[in-house]
Amino acid sequence: MREERIKNKSKQTGIRKKYKIELEDKINPRDSIEAKQKRPGYNRPIKEVFHGYKPSKDKEKYPLGVTEHRVIDRIEDRYDQVVKDNLTGEICHEEHEPLSEHKNRKDDKNKTKFKQTKIGKIPEDWAEDSG
């Protein structure tokens, strides 16, 4: 803050204060891009690429969401995934492995649910009657 004395036309002396105001704003883009390469004779795309913003389920840990970069290459048998925190920029998850060894957790969960609801447990009194 700087003060300077000024004189008006009416010969009055006053103090003028100058303030410096700085405004800062950050823009967090939430764009993403996804591409799939298909080839005749293959049921599924031979290559899938995703790069961009994804909201996080854990809002306390990742309030601004995460940026995910994922490449699935079925010809080269590769699965690569890097997930970064948008707030700090640090890598919070990273996977580089053959696609044949990669476990898709979503499919595993669905299979487990299906087995439990479809087959279920046989009541004990039924098991005794069959024998």
Contact 83, 70 (CB under 8 A): no
Question: pLDDT tens for residues 12-29?
Answer: 566 777 888 888 887 766
Report how far residue 97's alpha carbon sits from residue 101's, in angstroms, rounded to the nearest whole number.
7
The domains of the chain are located at 32-120
Distance, in Å, from the CA atom of 45 to the CA atom of 70, rounded to the nearest integer, reads 14
Report the alpha-carbon distance of residue 99 to residue 80 in Å, rounded: 9
Asked whether residue 116 carries a pLDDT value surpassing 60, the answer given is no
- Higher-pLDDT residue of 50 and 131 is 50
Q: How far apart (Å, rounded) are the C-alpha atoms in residues 55 and 81?
A: 16
Q: What is the pTM of this model?
A: 0.57
Distance CA 114, CA 111 (A): 5
Of 82, 91, 94, 85, the residue nearest 65 (C-alpha):
85
